[in-house]
Every structure is written in structure tokens, then in C-alpha cells.
A and B are shown apart, each in its own frame.
Chain A
Amino acid sequence: MKIVNLDHMSANPLVPEVQEAIIAAMRGNYGNPSSQHRMGEKASEILENSRESVAGLINAAAPREVVFTSGGTESVNHAVKGLAWANADKGKHIVTSNIEHTSVIRSMRRLKMMGFQVTSIPVDEYGRVSPDDVARAIRDETILVSIMHSNNEIGTIQPIDEIAGITREKKVLFHVDAVDSVGVVPIDVQKLGVDALSFASNPFYGPTGMGGLYVRRGVKIWPLLEGGIQENNKRAGTENLIGIVGMGVAADLAIRDMESRIAHLTMLKQKLLKELPRYIDEYSINSHQQYSLPNLVSVSLKYIEGESIVLMLDDENIAVSTRSACASGSLRASHVLLSIGLSYADAQGTLVITFGADNSEEDIVRFLEALQGTVNTLRKLSPLYKKAV
């Protein structure tokens, strides 16, 4: 039986054009873009064509403002640490939010060990950061603000343009983790006015293991990987042309199909939200109603735990994700869910459902039917479920 994949955030399939481009690249036996001979020139041309495509996706002013990386995590590490180190002479204070991805949090933790101070701003019950809170947190010694564009667990989208207005006025660098947004919703780095932006290829159906970092011309940043002078001396290492080609094609398709993809995803999301109360009760939807990714639904199911839900749905050939402590191997419930005010128990029973271009309305119905059975079974087992008298 076909598996209904409702966990696209964990792994998106590659669309056929991307697959074919990658296979052609493998067979093409390209040279090294840094070589001086014709083989190298050809490879360099391919590299720069892909860079143009990716730069077009985020409307960077110049393609060389985009650096290819091994994924979102590398981009974030490079941005946060590279910007902090390079600008430490002006100050050592950084502002971020309570719901950032662990790559931002761990990078901040590492910087704290190196003598930087970090202020983390709380969010409201929908996961939104207040630009006023950011403005109040910025001090004379602040050199960097890092806020994510959209959150990977609840889908909430932040008021990035408002925050950028504040950082520009106060002359503080602004990095945005847009890993789950780029290629999914329109991102225009010039319009947003950010200084650095991290993104990854898989959210727009490119290969996993590829990502990008946008750094506005003139912004001082130290490299994360040092060695050769590739990527405009920003990121050493012979380029992964096979992955880069795949990412470039995926970027072109994301530009071409963004509107139709958003329409399709929005339709699926609305169907799920509308039909859910017909199948289950005692649940809550996390995320802002308006400012939210079109492909993500976060639902907290009371009285039951996430991993057990995932396993039971897996038995019905449905793949979803959870953020319970047991499932993630971490020690506590999700910091994101706790930050928006969920109780520990509700946080443990939260599913993250992410759609893709390959999902259909039938998939939603199958999921809801299976979810109903799963929730009933697990609630019967649960000491937290108070039966209505």
C-alpha cells in the first residue's frame, strides 16, 4: 500500500526535472570550477548558472551574494558565528528569539561560551515576535539580530520587514533563518532589507545536503570553512556541482510554480483544518491563523503522546512527525511549543503535518480516518483521559 507522506518537512521528494538534472550532472563528469583549463571553465559556467537561478529565487542584487553550503544548518552556523566574530570589535551583544531552530540556539550557546551575550525574546501564543520587543532589546553593544522567517514546528511567519526597519535604523546586522520559507513562499531579500539569509534546497524539492547563505554586499562576515578561495573566499571546499545543479533547477521550478504550489498547499491545509473537528475532539491548532506557512499544520492532541501516535499511523502507512521528547531523543518537550504556552503534556502530544506537491485530498481523508482510530485507542490507554460522565 502506498505510503501517504505527510512529513514533507523531514524529507521532500525530488521532482522529476531535478532528478534528471542531477543524473545528467553525474554523467557529465564535470571538472573543477577552480581549474584554469577548459574543463574547469565549463564547470565554472555551470556553477554560476545555478547561482543565478538561486539568486533569482530570493531576488539578491547580485548572484555572488549567494554562497552555496551543505544545507540549512551550515548556513545558519556560518551566518551567526561568522557575523558575530567579524563584528565583535563593535560589540558582543546578540538578540534572538525563543523559538529559533536548534542550529541557531546551539550556535548562540557556543558564542556565549566565547564571551558574547545573548538576549532571547519571548513570543506570543501564536509564536509571533513583537518588533517593539526587538527594538527594546537592542543596546549600544548589539551587533547582530537573528530571527527566523518561519518556524519549522508551528509554521508561524515573523514580521521580518518591520524588524529589518528597526535593525537598519539602529545599524545592527540582521540575519534571518529562512530555511523553511525560501522556495515555499515569496522571499525578496532586497525588499525585506535583511543583511544575511539562510536557506536550504530540500524545502523546494532540491536535494538534501545543499543549501545557501545570502550575505548582502559590504557586510563583514568570517568564513566557517577555511582553505581554498571558493565561493568568493567565503566558503572553502571544492563545490558539490551535482548538488548545486539540482538546487539550481529546483530554484527555477520554484519560481515558475510558486503560485500554483501555494494554491494547492493552501487548499490541502484548509481541508484538513475544516474536516478535523468531524473526526476528533480535544485538540488545539498551534500557529497564527494568518501569518503561517501554507504547507504546515501543528496539532496538539490532548492526553496522548506523539511517538505512539506516529507509530500507529505508520502501521496505517501514513507518515507524520512529532516533537515529543521521546521521539526527538532530546530531554524535554519542544522549546517552541513551551514558548507559545502549551503545557508539557499537550506539547508531548503534538503532531507536525507538512504537505507537498504530491499530496491529494484523498491523502487528507485517509489521514483523518486513521487519526481518529489512533486517537481513540491511545486515549483509552491513557491515565490522563477523563471520560465525560
Chain B
Amino acid sequence: MYSKTVMDHFRNPRNSGTIEDADGVGEVGNPLCGDIMTMYLDVEDEHIKDIKFQTFGCGAAIAVSSMLTELAKGKSIEEAKKITNKDVAKALEGLPKNKLHCSNLGADALHMAIKDYEDRKAGRKISEPELSEPHEHDHEEKCYCPYCDAEIPEGVTFCKNCQ
């Protein structure tokens, strides 16, 4: 099911962990769909000096997070903003169709971390997000069909688009 590259990143994830006093943190996903990704950034001179990830999710989710940190590390903020989910999927030598939404999550987590960094720089952030505290991981309560990417409303168990 998974390519060799995906399995490699799953078995040997790069850059896992957290960063104390990170310059930017982004978290996406929710346990409803089974994926939560958190990205930590250490930014110096507008470049991503260090990046770490934590992931609750399947093999694809872990591989995507790992590959994303490899693609983003060392890049400038502007370059990192341009990293798309397609880049990640391509670098992983492709993902099964029903796992492509995992790659979306990875790119989203990175962009949220970058936004968080920029918000803080601009003084927009009021307090540090307490991610180490146990908090209800209720983000948007949105779930998307792994096959056609249509949004699945709450309480629905079949994708009307695909049926």
C-alpha cells in the first residue's frame, strides 16, 4: 500500500519532538478523522533554523509530518510558505488516494506554525498556546472524505458525493 519512502519516514521519522520556547507553533486535525499534527518552528534570520513535529495518526500521517520537516528545514519563511501538499506527496513517491488528505494536514500544520510566528512577530498573539496542557482537541470538528475531499457534515457516515 505504501511506497518505500513512506515506510522509511514512518519507521525512521526525522525531526520528531517539540521545541521549548518555539517561535511558532501550529496544530491541525482532530481525533474525529484520526489525525492530529503539531509543528514547532525555531526561526532565525527569517529562516527555519529548526523544525520539529508530533503526530497522532496513521502511517501516512507520520510519514507526511516527517517529510514536511525535511522539506521545510533550512528554508526561508517565504520559501516554506510555498510548500504544498502536492510537494509532500511527490517527495514521498505518492500516497494512496484515500491518504492524500493526510498530506493536506501536514502542509496546513506548517502554514499555521508560520502564521503563528508572523502573528507573534507583529504582536498580535496575546499569550503562548499551552499545548502541553491537556486540552480538548476540538479544532473545527470538520472532516473530509478521503476519496473526493468533499466536506462531511456532522453525524453523516457516508459521503453523499461518492455515493
Interface residues of A (CB under 8 A from B): 303-308, 311, 315, 324-327, 329-333, 335, 343-345, 348, 380-384, 386
Whether B35 sits at the interface, judged by CB under 8 Å, is yes
Q: Complex Cα distance A332/B102, Å? A: 14
**Contact between B34 and A315, CB atoms less than 8 A apart:** no
Asked if B71 is at the interface (CB within 8 A of a chain A CB), the reply is: no
Q: List B93-107 residues whose CB lies under 8 Å from chain A.
A: 98-99, 102
Question: Across the interface, do A308 and B62 meet the contact criterion of CB distance under 8 Å?
Answer: yes
Complex CA gap A326/B55 in Å reads 14
Q: A-facing mask of B1-40, CB < 8 A → 1, else 0? A: 0000000001101001000000000010011111111100
Residue pair A383, B55 in contact (C-beta under 8 Å)? yes
Pick the residue among B37, B102, B146 that contacts A331 (CB under 8 A).
Answer: B146
Which single residue of chain A is at the shortest CB-CB distance from B159?
Answer: A331
Q: Other CB < 8 Å A-B pairs besides A383-B36, A383-B38, 7 of them?
A: A306-B58, A324-B34, A326-B99, A329-B146, A331-B143, A344-B30, A383-B37
Report the minimum CB–CB distance from A347 to chain B (whole Å). 8
A348, closest chain B residue (CB): B34
**Bound complex: CA A28 to CA B70 (Å):** 61
Bits for B39-68, please: 1 = Cβ < 8 Å to A, else 0: 000000000000000111111111000000
A interface footprint on B126-153 (CB within 8 Å = 1, 0 otherwise): 0000011010010000010110000010
Query: Shortest distance in angstroms between B22's beta carbon and chain A's nearest beta carbon?
Result: 13
* Contact assessment for A303 and B56 in the assembled complex, using a CB-CB cutoff below 8 Å: yes
A381 & B16 in contact (Cβ 8 Å cutoff): yes
A380 vs B158: C-alpha distance when bound (angstroms): 33
Contact (Cβ within 8 A) B152 A331: yes
In the complex, which residues of chain B have a beta carbon less than 8 angstroms from the beta carbon of A307? 58-59
Q: Are B10 and A332 in contact (CB under 8 A)?
A: no
Interface residues on B, range: 35 or more
Alpha-carbon distance between A308 and B57 when the two chains are bound, in angstroms: 7
A331–B55 touching, CB < 8 Å = no
Distance in Å: Cβ of A197 to nearest Cβ of chain B: 27
Residues of chain A within 8 A of B38, CB atoms compared = 383
Can you list 6 pairs linking A and B with CB atoms under 8 Å apart? A324-B58, A331-B146, A348-B34, A381-B55, A382-B56, A383-B36
Bound: A380/B147 CA distance, A: 30
How near does chain B come to A315, taking the closest CB pair, in angstroms?
7
Distance from B113 Cβ to chain A, minimum over Cβ atoms (Å) = 13
Please measure, in the bound complex, the distance between the C-alpha atom of A329 and the C-alpha atom of B58, giving whole angstroms.
11
Report the 9 A-B pairs with minimum CB-CB distance, sorted nearest first.
Answer: A326-B58, A345-B31, A307-B58, A344-B31, A383-B54, A383-B38, A325-B34, A348-B34, A382-B56
Contacts of A345 in B (CB 8 A): 31, 56, 137
Point out the residues of chain A lying under 8 angstroms from B102, CB to CB: 326
With both beta carbons as reference points, the residue of chain B lying nearest to A382 in the complex is identified as B56
Whether A383 contacts B131 in the complex (CB less than 8 A), given A303-B56, A308-B58, comes out as yes
B11 touches A305 (CB 8 A): no
| Contacts A303-B56, A304-B56, A308-B10; A384 near B34 (Cβ below 8 A) | no
The listed residue with most B CB atoms (<10 A of its CB), out of A308, A331, A343, A386, is: A331
Set of chain A residues within 8 Å of B152, measured between Cβ atoms: 331-332
CB of A308 within 8 A of CB of B137, answer no
Residues from chain A with Cβ under 8 Å of B131 in the complex:
383
Q: Which of A304, A308, A330 contacts B59 (CB 8 A)?
A: A308
Residues of A within 8 A of B55 (CB): 381-383
Q: Are B31 and A348 in contact (CB under 8 A)?
A: yes
Is A305 within 8 A of B61, CB to CB? yes
**Inter-subunit contact B146/A343 (CB<8 Å):** no
Q: Which residue of B lies closest to A335 (CB)?
A: B157
- Cβ-defined contact, A326 with B60, below 8 A: yes
Q: Which B residues are in CB contact (< 8 Å) with A348? A: 31, 34, 56
How far is B59's CA from A380's CA once the two chains are assembled, in angstroms? 15
Q: If A331-B158, A383-B56 touch, does A326 touch B35 (CB 8 Å cutoff)?
A: yes
Q: Which residues of the partner chain B approach A311 to less than 8 Å between Cβ atoms?
A: 10, 59
- Smallest CB separation, A312 vs chain B (Å): 8
Taking CB as reference atom, which chain B residue is nearest A105? B157
Contact (Cβ within 8 A) B34 A326: yes
The answer to whether B134 and A329 touch across the interface, beta carbons within 8 angstroms, is no
Q: A305-B34, A326-B57, A343-B31 are in contact. Are A381 and B62 (CB under 8 A)?
A: yes
